[in-house]
Structure 1
């Protein structure tokens, strides 16, 4: 029963994200917004409820099955992918580099912020 509660909660967040995106005409996918809202909720709570953890673990254990539709889609559109291989390759390379650079900058900022925060806490208690 906990699995059903957890999967329902995950799907509700996805649905709410989709509704908000469509109502506000936000240019991001609804499930992504739903995932961000779920993350914020879990961060505020400070813990993951057992039903959500159980449903998430079950989904992750079968993650490879979720890639089957994408693989089938690639085979169906193989001719188009072959015809447009250069723009696809450039988009993948550039987006990978941008993601790596953004991740590195965020990691540096977060590390500096955490070190500064800990030093200030140490001064306050000392």
Structure 2
């Protein structure tokens, strides 16, 4: 049990370090991208190059994904302060949320499918 908690803590620390480094890199280079996006790109590059195996971070990533709702509740609660805005522009906001969610799901599905096919090609060699 203690080994599992220690491993999970190390995985979460590694993911946090990559996220932090991406934020630092975005700020230092003046990039117009969020640090999390740059961190994900760095993580993808590490996975693709074979420097890190995805299984090494699977537990920490799984925990973060399982608790993802906790990251969105504060943002949703802050919407209560903007009642008049939601009544006048709510349908536009909802449309943007629906379209962006659909786009994220589509890009994620295509990325996963592409990486899966790439992995199959390289494992068969």
Q: CA deviation at 1:9?
A: 0.7
1 or 2 for the larger relative contact order (CA 8 Å, sep ≥6)? 1
| 1:73 paired residue among 74, 78, 81 | 78
Counterpart residue number, 2:36: 31
The CA deviation string for residues 76-114 of structure 1, in whole angstroms up to 9 with x for no partner, is 2232232333543554466568x38x85xx78xx6xxx7
Judged with a 3 Å threshold, the aligned counterparts in structure 2 of structure 1 residues 93 and 19 are, in CA distance, closer, same or farther, namely: same
Rg larger in structure? 1
Unaligned runs of 5+ residues in structure 1 are: 119-126
Judged with a 3 Å threshold, the aligned counterparts in structure 2 of structure 1 residues 86 and 7 are, in CA distance, closer, same or farther, namely: same
Map 1:75-114 to 2 at 5 A. 75-85=80-90, 87-89=92-94, 91-92=96-97, 95=100, 99=103, 103=107
TM-score, normalization by structure 1:
0.65
TM-score, normalization by structure 2:
0.65
Q: Distance in 2 between matches of 1:54 and 1:79?
A: 42
Task: Name the SS of the counterpart of 1:77 in structure 2.
Answer: helix
Q: Distance in 1 between matches of 2:101 and 2:55?
A: 33
